[in-house]
Amino acid sequence: MAALSGSAITQSDPFAGFHNLSVSSELKGLNCSSYGQIPYGISAINDAGVAFLKRFGTGVMGVVCQSYGNTEFNRKRMNLGYALALSPKLSASGILGYSSTRIMNGYGVASNFWMNVGATYNVRKDWKWAAVADLPLKSLKNAEDLPATLRLGTTYSFGEHVNLSGQLSSSTSQTSSLSYSFGLEYFPIEVFAFRLGMNTHWQTWSMGVGTHLKNYSLDVSATVHPQLGITPQISFTYGRNN
User: Percent of the chain at pLDDT above 90?
Assistant: 64
Per-residue pLDDT at 177 exceeds 80 = no
Residue with the larger pLDDT of the pair 46 and 193: 193
Single-letter residue type at 233? Q
What is the per-residue pLDDT across 192-218, written as a single tens digit (0 to 9) for each? 999 999 999 888 999 999 999 889 999
Residue with the larger pLDDT of the pair 138 and 156: 156
Report, in angstroms and rounded to the nearest whole number, the Rg of the chain calculated over CA atoms: 18
Assign residue 203 the CATH number of its domain: 2.40.160.40
Specify the 3-state DSSP secondary structure of 2: helix
Q: Give me the domain span that covers residue 106.
A: 2-240
How many Å apart are CA 192 and CA 19, to the nearest integer?
24
Band of residue 142 on the pLDDT scale cut at 50, 70, 90: low
Domain count along the chain: 1
pLDDT (average), residues 15-36: 92
| Verdict on whether the full-model pTM lies above 0.75 | yes
Tell which phi-psi region holds residue 128, choosing left (phi > 0), alpha (psi between -120 and 50) or beta.
beta
Helix, strand, coil shares of the chain, percent, nearest 5, are 5, 65, 25
Give the DSSP letter of residue 172: S
pLDDT of 144: 62
Band of residue 31 on the pLDDT scale cut at 50, 70, 90: very high
Band of residue 221 on the pLDDT scale cut at 50, 70, 90: very high
